[in-house]
Amino acid sequence: MSREGGEKLRSLVVEDEWAARNYLVELLDGSDLARVTGAVASAEEARELLLGDGRLAFDVAFLDIRLSGSRNEGLDIARALAALPRSPLLVLATAFDTHALEAYALGVADYLLKPFTERRVEQCLHRLRARRPGLQPAGPLRIAARRQKSLVFFDRDEVWAFEAAERLTRVHTPRGVFDVDLSLSAIDASFGRGLARVHRNWLVNVTHIKELERDGETRVWVGEGLAADGRGIHVPVARERAQLLRDMLLASAMGLRRTT
């Protein structure tokens, strides 16, 4: 996609289909016109974010219409959002074209039909930027995660690691382990510097690596203190990534010869 200067659109993706949600996130983050600061799967989570003060954290929301099968929860949220002052731009992202007229009557900024394409998403983003030329200054990016029916928020520097497991992504922090709705690729693209892909299922916050162990298999201790007396997690390191990780850690440290 094309590259463009200026502040990126802070985006929320609401989509209950895992594959469609991750693909849209990757298209948005890959555009350099937007950055995904939240992604949720249910109408309940969308209502909590968009119908409260949390909506001010987003410039645009990409909202599926049918979040639970047959009902049109997305349109219900759009109607409620249209009645609120200072709300984000709204894009309905759906497989159905039958609600386009009602959507535009509600002031929806765009109507994005599945299957999503890179060209169509970029066209949509240019349209959104034209409608909102003066974007709000971006605040510090926080991580939104799920714990059962609750939403949990924490700063990026609190993250120890992200783990892909059983079609879910988990974030490991000093406050526990929580679920997020982004793929590792999307997280890696939007998080910025500081994460290392040490394994196909693991992204690690380099600043929290406290120990590199090489005893048959390579792994790192990530967290607070060392493994014997600290809090944290052991993360496996893929064989083909072990030397690169070791060199990276030594390059930003002093005290040992590189041949050690």
From the number of C-beta atoms within 10 Å of its C-beta (0-12, 13-18, 19+), residue 96 rates as middle
Q: What is the pLDDT of residues 2-15, one digit of tens each?
A: 444 457 899 999 99
Beta bridge partners of 176: 173
Dihedrals φ, ψ of 57, to 5°? -80, -5
| pLDDT of res. 197 | 85
* pLDDT tens-place string over residues 220-233: 999 998 887 889 99
Residue with tokens 């005893």: 215
Q: Which amino acid is at 173?
A: T
Average pLDDT over residues 173-191: 81
CATH number of 9-131: 3.40.50.2300
Q: Which residues contact 103 (CB under 8 A, 6 or more apart)?
A: 75, 78, 92, 111
Asked if residues 50 and 84 have their Cβ atoms less than 8 Å apart, the reply is: no
For residue 165, what is the enclosing H or E element? strand 161-165
| Least confident span in 68-72, 204-208, 210-214 | 68-72
Can you give the pLDDT at residue 202? 94
CA–centroid distance for 211 within its chain: 28
Find out whether the peptide bond into 115 is cis, omega within 30 degrees of 0. Answer: yes
Structure confidence at residue 259 (pLDDT): 58
**Cβ-contact 161, 150 below 8 angstroms:** no
**17: three-class secondary structure by DSSP:** coil
Per-residue pLDDT, averaged over 202-206, amounts to 91
Q: Report the top-level CATH class of 148-251.
A: mainly beta
CB distance 198 to 237 below 8 Å? yes
pLDDT, residue 137, reads: 43
**Mean confidence (pLDDT) of the chain:** 82
Domain layout of the chain by residue ranges: 9-131, 148-251
- Name the residue among 237, 221, 219 with its Cα closest to residue 229: 221
